[in-house]
Amino acid sequence: MTFDIHSLKHGLIVSCQPVKGGVMDNAAMVVGFALAALDGGATALRIESADYVRAVRQATDRPIIGLVKRDLETSPIRITPFVEDVDALAAAGADIIAYDATARERPVATRTLIERIHAGGKIAMADCSVFADAERALAEGAEIVGSTLAGYTGPVEPTEPDFALIAAMRGLTPHVVAEGCVRTPEQAAQALQAGAFTVVVGSAITRPEHVTAWFRQALDQTLAGSEA
């Protein structure tokens, strides 16, 4: 493996994943978001799908975390569930390949995915939901653990980063990625203080549909309160 994990230390990773089927869900827009993020000081990028990884790789040599998202009828696993997903991301130019590291029913064992990632000369990032996920992932050979799926395995999606999980995982490895619901610069800074090696920000930068909705909701709540 030639990629140096330490190049990510204390960096900002921008996740350029447009809303699926949205007006920005095309390669040109993803590349534009990626280059704009790098211009703003991003250290690396997190890109979904082999096609988009390939497009971004043609535009920059900066580090890319690649993943594939699928909605399966037989499993709740969405992030890089299959070996062929790993192979496609590796061929497209990802430096790091992220996979769902939860203990839920899955089509392919996590150990098999990690072995395939390493066979392609790439680094494995375990997207975790709880502390036990990180423990298992590191034991199986993953180099990086992230708080990506914290709160996302339950019925209600979270709205705040899981700083406690970040701090707990830091006790296992220095290579902890804070990811999930980081929506403000203050939260990003707090993630570093909790022990994160690097921080991922996605929707707050590259999903204007979501950001607009947050502002709209705040205004509507204020109006509702004033009319009560």
Mean pLDDT for 173-202 is 97
- Name residue 124's beta-bridge partners: 97
Mean pLDDT for 158-169 is 96
DSSP symbol at 195:
T
**Percent of the chain predicted with pLDDT > 70:** 99
Residue 2 lies in a domain: no
Q: Give per-residue pLDDT as tens, 1-42.
A: 468 999 999 999 999 999 999 999 999 999 999 999 999 999
pLDDT at 228 over 70: no
Single pTM value for the model: 0.94
pLDDT at 226 over 80: no
Domain coverage including residue 48? 7-227
- Name residue 69's beta-bridge partners: 79
Mean pLDDT for 72-90 is 97
Instruction: Give which of 206, 191, 182, 157 is closest to 24, Cα–Cα.
Output: 206
- The pair of three-digit structure tokens given for residue 113, joined into one six-digit string: 């995915």
pLDDT of res. 2? 66
Q: What is the number of structural domains in the chain?
A: 1
Q: List the CATH number of the domain containing 182.
A: 3.20.20.70
Q: Give per-residue pLDDT as tens, 34-80.
A: 999 999 999 999 999 999 999 999 999 999 999 999 999 999 999 99
pLDDT of res. 227? 73
Mean pLDDT for all residues in the chain = 96
pLDDT of res. 1? 46
Mean pLDDT for 200-228 is 92
Confidence of residue 155 (pLDDT cuts 50, 70, 90): confident
Residue 36 lies in a domain: yes
Instruction: Give which of 206, 213, 204, 210 is closest to 29, Cα–Cα.
Output: 206
Residue 1 lies in a domain: no
Residue 184 lies in a domain: yes
Burial of residue 122, with CB atoms counted within 10 A of its CB: 0-12 exposed, 13-18 middle, 19 or more buried = buried
Mean pLDDT for 160-185 is 97
Residue 169 lies in a domain: yes
